[in-house]
Amino acid sequence: MTWIKRNLFFVIVAILAVGLLAAAGFYGFKHWRRNVAGMETLNEAYNTLQQLHNQNPSPGNDRVNNIETARQQEQQLRAWIQQARNYFQPLPPIPNPAAGGVSSEDFAAALRRTIDQLQHEAQNTSVLLPPQYNFSFEAERSLVKFAPGSLDPLSVQLGEVKAVCEILFAAKINSVDNLRRAHVSDDDAGGPQSDYFNASSATNNLAIFTPYEITFRCFSHDLAQVLSNFASAPNGFVVNGINVQPAAAVAAASATPGNPANFFMGNQPAPPPAPVGKGGLQTVLNEQLLTVTMNIEIVKLLPKN
C-alpha cells in the first residue's frame, strides 16, 4: 500500500494503459471480424462474377455490354409482338351483342340470316354449293333451343366460317364441296358427320388455335388467289395442310350408287377443251380442274395480362 501511495501516478497511468490496451484489443477484434465478413462477401461476389463471365453468353466486359444488348433486344421483340398483333385481329362472333351473352333466339335468327347471306354471295360470285348447303350447321339450322353452354362457341364458329367462305368466294373458285369444323355442342351429334372432323381447339400461353377443313374445286390460279387471300387477311389464318388432286379422279372415285355427292358432281361444268396451237404446235399448258382439301387454323391471341 505504501508503494502504491509513493507511486500513485505510475499506478494510475498503468491502469489507464491497461484499459486502453483492452479497448484497442476489443476494437481491433471487432474490426477483424468485420474484415473477415467483408472478405467472405467479396469472395462470393467474385465467384459469382466469375460464373457469370464463364457463361455463354456472358454479361460482357468493358468493351461489350451483353446485358444492355439483351435489354435492347427485349425492347425490339416487344415492339415486334405489338406490330404482329395487327395481323391477328379477332373475328367478331355472330351474333355479337354489345351487352354480352348470346340468347337462343338471337343465335337462331343470326344463323339463318348468315346462311342465307352466304348462299346469296356464292350465287353472286358463281360459286357452286351442294344443294341446300348449311355450311356445317345442318344440326343447328332448324333449332330454336340449343344445348347449354354451346351458344358462345357456336357464335364464334359461325363468325369464323363466314370469314373463311368469303375468302373462298372472293377468289372466284368453282365450287365449295364441304367445310368441316370441330364439335362444340351436344347438338352437333344430331347433324351429318361430314360437317365435323376429329380435331379441337388448342390453347397455349399466347393464343387459341381453332382448326377447320375445307374442300373446294378450282383451277391453279384460283388456288393461288385463295392462298394469297388467307395470307393477306388480318385475322391470323394459318394454312397448315393442303392436298390437291385432279377433280376428275376424285369424281370417279366418288361415283358410287347412292352417294349423295353424285348429284353435285353432275352439276360441275367440265373444263373447256385445250386450244390447239396454230401450225400444229404442241399444247404446253392444259389446265385441269382441281379438288383441293385444305386444313387451316385461326389463331386468336389471348388478352394481355
Average pLDDT over residues 14-32: 71
pLDDT range class, residue 11, cuts 50, 70, 90: low
Domain range annotation of the chain = 90-257+289-301
Average pLDDT on 132-161 reads 94
User: What does the pLDDT look like over 98-124, one tens digit per residue?
Assistant: 877 889 999 999 999 999 999 999 999
Highest mean pLDDT among 197-201, 217-221, 298-302: 217-221
Read off the C-alpha cell for 171.
377468289
The average pLDDT across 155-182 equals 96
Rounded to an integer, what distance in angstroms lies between the CA atom of residue 156 and that of residue 181?
A: 12
In b/e form, how buried is each residue of 2-13, taking b as 16+ CB within 10 angstroms? eeeeeeeeeeee
Cα→Cα distances 162→41, 177, 229, 236, 302, Å: 66, 15, 14, 15, 22
Q: Does the pLDDT of residue 263 top 50, yes or no?
A: no
Question: E strands along 104-193, which residues?
Answer: 175-181
Stretch 15-38: mean pLDDT:
73
Cα first-last separation, the chain: 87
pLDDT of 39 > 90? The answer is no
Q: Give the integer Cα–Cα distance in Å for 121 and 179.
A: 16
Considering only residues 251 and 201, tell me which one the structure prediction assigns the higher pLDDT: 201
What are the Cα distances from residue 149, in Å, to 103, 104, 146? 11, 11, 8
Looking at residue 283, its pLDDT comes to 55
Q: What is the pLDDT of residue 254?
A: 67
User: In the structure, what pLDDT confidence band is assigned to residue 205 with cuts at 50, 70 and 90?
Assistant: confident
pLDDT-derived band at 55 (thresholds 50, 70, 90) equals low
> Sorting pLDDT into bands at 50, 70 and 90, what band is 71?
confident
Supply the pLDDT for residue 67.
74
- The rounded mean pLDDT for the chain is 82
pLDDT score of 134:
96
In CATH terms, 90-257+289-301 corresponds, of 3.30.70.60, 3.40.220.10, 3.40.50.2300, 3.40.190.10, to 3.30.70.60
Most confidently modeled range among 81-90, 126-135, 242-251: 126-135
pLDDT of 260 > 60? The answer is no
Least confident of 27-31, 232-236, 246-250: 27-31
DSSP assignment letter at 186: G
Dump strand ranges (E) for the chain: 175-181, 202-203, 207-218, 237-246, 290-301
Question: CA 192, 196, 200: angle at the middle one, nearest 5?
Answer: 150
